[in-house]
Amino acid sequence: MNDTKSLTPAVYILGAGPGAPDLLTVKADKILTTADVILYADSLVPKQMLRNVRHDAEIITTANKTLEEILPLMIDRVRKGLSVVRLHSGDPSLYGAVYEQMQLLAEAGIDFEIVPGISAFQDAAAKLKVELTVPGLVQTIILTRISGKATAVPSREELGSLAAHGASLCLYLSARYVWEAQEKLMEHYSADIPVAICYRLGWPDEKIWVVPLEKMALMTEEKQLVRTTLYVISPALEKLEKVGRSGLYNPEHNHLFRGKHNRKN
């Protein structure tokens, strides 16, 4: 696909990002505003994402539909020569249930393309004005969730074992099980480590609270959060007077593009 003025009949799986239209990639925006048909989960993607779509585009909401209902719609429209957007919240590579769709589209002989999007953890770090990988403090980011009714987490990825790394941990899809999550996190993080509770990032009613880990569950309960909530647990959220610095821009560090002869005296 090179010219979005006339999209090739196919399914375009787009990452909508956290919910703000201006956080779409340029490529995703061009496809979204050009497509003939748009399917989106209206419970996860705000309607504002569709503000610039074609006035004659067919809009299909999918929050109340199963995959067995959604897939035939996409296949039918493509076979009729139409371009179809499947708009996913966040990035399709994270908790998007995209793999099963790709498999079935391929089996049906339907071409598809994936366009990445910004994930909630990236938007959260930007809103919090932090870097989740601080030299000398933390260099690993873990994206995970706790086991739920719809999706079980493999035992080797159990939350307690991941928390043992002490990394920046971004916890998705876990608000309904927050007391259990807090208990497992406190096995390895200190009770007063900051936790950012991020609700509906990118939506008009976005809210972010930063509380000690020991108050994470209570705050979640008080605010009645049960979905569309991300937790960021990280040493990087602590107000540190001095942390390490990257060697990348350090005058004592030489690399391919900046040798000793480039240093200023």
In one-letter notation, the amino acid at residue 81 is G
With beta carbons less than 8 A apart as the criterion, state whether 23 and 123 touch: yes
Cβ atoms 95, 172 nearer than 8 A: yes
- pLDDT (0 to 100) of residue 215: 98
Strand partners of residue 170: 143, 232
Whole-number pLDDT of residue 251: 57
**Residue in 149, 200, 142 with CA at minimum distance from that of residue 166:** 142
In the sheet with 84-88, reading across from the earlier edge strand, the strands are 58-61, 37-40, 84-88, 11-15, 112-115
The reported pLDDT for the residue numbered 96 is: 82
Give me 201's structure tokens.
């990032």
Q: Is the dihedral of CA 102, 105, 109, 115 positive or negative?
A: negative
Q: Which residues of the chain have pLDDT under 50?
A: 1-4, 241-242, 265
- Residue 101 C-beta-side C-alpha neighbours within 13 Å: 27
Residue 4's pLDDT is 46
| 3-class secondary structure, 96 | coil
Estimate the crossing angle of helix 67-79 against helix 98-107, to 10 degrees: 40
Query: What was the pLDDT predicted at 244?
Result: 54
DSSP character for 174? -
Q: How far is CA 231 from CA 31, 35, 197, in A?
A: 31, 34, 5
Question: How far is Cα 25 from Cα 119, in angstroms, rounded to an integer?
Answer: 12
> In terms of DSSP bridges, do strands 37-40 and 11-15 run parallel, antiparallel, or are they unpaired?
unpaired
